[in-house]
Amino acid sequence: MSAGTAPARRVLVLNGPNLGRLGRRQPEIYGTTTHDELAERCVAWGAELGLDVEVRQTNHEGVLLDWLNDAADEAVPVVLNAAAWTHYSYAVFDACAQLTAPLVEVHLSDPTQRPEVFRHTSVVTPHAVAVVAGKGVDGYRDALEVVAARLG
Q: What are phi and psi of 130, to 5 degrees?
A: -160, 155
Q: Active-site residue 107, yes or no?
A: yes
Q: Rounded to an integer, what distance in angstroms lies between the CA atom of residue 86 and that of residue 120?
A: 10
User: What 3-state class would DSSP assign to 63?
Assistant: helix
Residues of the binding site? 81, 87, 94, 108-109, 119
Is 88 noted as a catalytic residue in this protein?
A: no
CA–CA distances in Å: residue 121 to residues 13, 58, 63, 102, 111: 21, 21, 23, 21, 8
Which listed residue (35, 107, 127, 140) is catalytic? 107
Q: Identify the DSSP state of 57.
A: E
Annotated binding-site members for substrate: 81, 87, 94, 108-109, 119
Catalytic-role residue among 30, 35, 127, 140:
30
Question: Where in the sequence numbering do the catalytic residues fall?
Answer: 30, 107
